[in-house]
Amino acid sequence: MSERQAKEELLMSMRRTMKARRAWTAVAITTGLGFAVAGCGGDDGGDKPKTAGSSASATAKQPEQQPKEDAPQSPSSNTVLAEVKGGDNHTITINSAVRDVGGFVTVSGQVKNGRDGLWNPTTWSGGEKELNGNGASMAGASLVDKTGKKKYLVLRDTDGRCLCTKFTGGFKRGEEKAFFVQFPAPPASANKLDFQIADMPPASIEISEGE
C-alpha cells in the first residue's frame, strides 16, 4: 500500500469514528430529553417532592431566640420606671423593663455611687454558688411577682455567667454606670413586679411588651 493510500484509509477511519460518536451523542441527548419530559408530565396521583415538609421540619428544629450576653444600648434617662436609694448611699434608676418575644425580660437603667471613695459592689452578685464567678455584677438581682408568689432569678449560661452587667473596676465617687439584667419572662398577666438586689429597697416596675 502506498503512502497516499495509507493516508486516505486513515482519514476514512477517522470519519467513521466521528460519525459513530455523533450518533451516540444524539441518542444520549434524546434519551435525556425523554426522561425529562416523563418527569415533568406525571399526573397528580404520582409522588411529589416533600420540599415544603422538609422546610417546615428544619424551621421547627431551629432553637428559640436566646437572650444576648452583650449589653444593650443605654436606655433613655428621660423615662424613669422606678428609682430607689439604699445601701451605702447608692442609687438604682430603672429606665426600661421589656418582655421580649424570646421568652425573657430585660431590665436596664443606671447605678450611681453616692459614697465617698471607690465602691465595688461585690455583694451584688448574690449568694448562689453557681454565680460566684461573676464578681461585682447584677447577678444577684431578682424579679418578684407578689400576686403570683414567684421569684425570677437572673438568667445564666452553662458556665454560671450571668446575662447581666459586670461592673469592672468598680465605681468612683459620684460615678454612674449603665446596667442591664435579664430574667425568664413571667406570664403575660404578670406585668407589675418588684426588682430587688442585695440590701437595696425593692423597686416596683411595670413590664412593657417588646416588638
Work out whether strand 90-100 and strand 208-209 pair parallel, antiparallel, or are unpaired: parallel
The answer to whether residue 90 is domain-embedded is yes
Is pLDDT larger for residue 91 or for residue 6?
91
Q: Please say if the pLDDT value at position 141 is more than 90.
A: yes
Domain of 33, in residue numbers: 3-61
With beta carbons less than 8 A apart as the criterion, state whether 89 and 98 touch.
no
Q: Which residue has the cell 398577666?
A: 189
Taking residues 132-150, report their average pLDDT.
94
DSSP lists the bridge partners of residue 84 as 92
Q: From the centroid of its chain, how far is CA 211?
A: 15
Q: Which residue has the cell 455523533?
A: 22
Task: Please list, in sequence order, all residues whose beta carbon lies within 8 angstroms of the beta carbon of residue 57, skipping any fewer than 6 positions away.
Answer: none
Q: Residue 102's pLDDT is what?
A: 86
Q: How many domains does the chain have?
A: 2
The answer to whether residue 75 is domain-embedded is no
> Are residues 8 and 52 part of one domain?
yes
With cut-offs at 50, 70 and 90, classify the pLDDT of residue 47: very low
> Are residues 105 and 202 part of one domain?
yes
Q: Residue 81's pLDDT is what?
A: 97
The answer to whether residue 70 is domain-embedded is no
> Are residues 57 and 99 part of one domain?
no
DSSP lists the bridge partners of residue 137 as 166
Q: What is the pLDDT of residues 88-132, one digit of tens each?
A: 899 999 999 999 988 999 999 999 999 999 999 999 998 888 888
Q: What is the pLDDT of residues 148-185, one digit of tens each?
A: 999 999 999 999 999 999 999 999 999 999 999 999 99
User: What does the alpha-carbon distance between residue 125 and residue 131 come to, in Å, rounded to a whole number?
Assistant: 7
Q: Residue 69's pLDDT is what?
A: 47
Q: Please say if the pLDDT value at position 37 is more than 70.
A: no
User: What does the alpha-carbon distance between residue 77 and residue 59 come to, in Å, rounded to a whole number?
Assistant: 39
Q: Which of 8-22, 27-41, 95-109 has the lowest mean pLDDT?
A: 27-41
> Are residues 191 and 94 part of one domain?
yes
Q: Which amino acid is at 72?
A: P
With beta carbons less than 8 A apart as the criterion, state whether 81 and 98 touch.
no
Q: Residue 4's pLDDT is what?
A: 55
> Are residues 41 and 127 part of one domain?
no
The answer to whether residue 77 is domain-embedded is no
